[in-house]
Structures are given as C-alpha cells and as structure tokens.
C-alpha cells in the first residue's frame, strides 16, 4: 500500500518516481495459468477468434501472452480445448 503523502512526494520527483508504484496488469492474476501464443495464434485471438492450443490448461480462465511475453489479456478455455478471448488489452 502507498499513502497519499508518498504519492504526493513522488509526483514532485517526476513520472519515473510515480512509475515505481505501478504494477503490471497481470500481477493481479498470478494464480491463473499462463498460455503463450505464437504470433499466428495471437493474430486470431486479437480478432476475437478461438484458437487451438496444444496442452491447454484445464482451468476455465487463463492469462494470454504473445510469443514475445507481452500480456494480451484473459482467455477462456472452452469445452473442446480451444481458447477464446475473454478480455484483451490494447497493445502499446
């Protein structure tokens, strides 16, 4: 946790000091399994299409990453083993 006073002090130091308090989005999902997608599969996921992933986890929800370890968002493992996008983040 960070106090308001700590944030105010960091804001006086600039953006870099404030960024030290930020965590990656996926840090809230550490207990979810991760799935790394090839560039081709990531292309289809970003367009809303389910994809076949070898050895998909049995969990209902998974974190999705591109081949370059960039967080793409959250996917849902379907009954047939395909992974469908659930919530995606806009790549920067």
Quick count: other Cβ atoms within 10 Å of Cβ 73? Answer: 18
pTM of the model: 0.77
Q: Is 63 helix (H, G, I), strand (E, B) or coil?
A: strand
pLDDT of the residue at 52: 94
Token look-up 């367009």 returns 47
How confident is the prediction for the chain on average, in pLDDT? 89
Go through the domains of the chain in sequence order and give each one's CATH number. Answer: 24-88 (2.30.130.10)
pLDDT of the residue at 92: 55
pLDDT digits (tens, 9 = 90+) for 19-40: 888 888 888 888 999 999 999 9
pLDDT digits (tens, 9 = 90+) for 61-75: 999 999 888 999 999
pLDDT digits (tens, 9 = 90+) for 4-17: 888 888 888 888 88
């Amino acid at each position: 946790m960070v106090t308001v006073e700590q944030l105010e002090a960091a804001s006086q130091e600039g953006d870099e000091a404030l960024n030290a308090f930020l965590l990656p989005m996926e840090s809230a999902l550490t207990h979810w399994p991760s799935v790394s997608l090839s560039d081709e599969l990531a292309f289809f996921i970003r367009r809303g299409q389910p994809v076949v992933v070898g050895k998909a986890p049995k969990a209902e929800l998974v974190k999705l990453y591109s081949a370059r370890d960039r967080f793409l968002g959250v996917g849902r493992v379907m009954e047939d083993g395909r992974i469908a996008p659930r919530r995606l983040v806009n790549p920067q």
